[in-house]
Amino acid sequence: MADFAFWLIAALTLGSALMVVSSKSLLYSAYSLLFTFIGVTGLYVFLWADFLAVVQVVVYVGGILVLIIFGIMLTNKISSVNISHTSVQKGVGALVVLGFVSALGLMVYSTPWIQLPNSEPAETTKLIGNLLMMDYLLPFEAASFLLLGALIGATTLSRKDY
């Protein structure tokens, strides 16, 4: 059962990711991105990362996807119903990417990965909080500066008189 659910979620993720990069309509791409994010969330749950799964839904689906749809709406004339976009050199791109993914797949299945014994943690939130406040305090503060910079930068860039 869990096996079936895993492959279903993997198929959902990869299928909608394929839609994202191949759909003719930009809005269809954006909505396929929603299903990709939800599929990746499911894979996070399989990887025992419950906190990260919730963060993924809140930040990606609630934040980034809404931003992207806003971006589509603001950069196209809504009166023209057909918000389409084109791709160039699809054949060459597909060929190169196919070679790339087969090389990666060969590498993944031929490398003897070292796996350590693991057990499912009762809660990950507490462990992540401890690490953030102790081992990773400096990156944490740097990330807060980066977010402040991005906030000011994005506001300044999108002002009318800039």
Which residues in 119-148 contact another protein (CB under 8 A)? 119-121, 124, 127-128, 131-132, 135-136, 139, 143, 146-147
Amino acid symbol at 157: L
# residues near another protein by CB under 8 A: 85
Q: What count of residues does the chain have?
A: 162
State in angstroms the smallest separation of the CB of 16 from another protein.
Answer: 10
14 contact partners, CB below 8 Å, separation of at least 6: 39
100 binds another protein, rule: CB under 8 A: yes
Q: Of 26, 38, 54, 61, which lies in the binding site for another protein, with binding defined by CB under 8 A?
A: 26
Nearest to 28 by CA among 16, 40, 38, 13: 16
Alpha-carbon distance of 147 to 141, in angstroms, equals 10
Residue numbers 38-57 binding another protein by CB under 8 A: 40, 43-44, 46-49, 51-52, 55-56
Nearest to 40 by CA among 54, 26, 27, 28: 54
34 binds another protein, rule: CB under 8 A: no
Alpha-carbon distance of 47 to 9, in angstroms, equals 13
State in angstroms the smallest separation of the CB of 64 from another protein.
Answer: 5
Residue numbers 79-98 binding another protein by CB under 8 A: 85-90, 93-94, 96-98
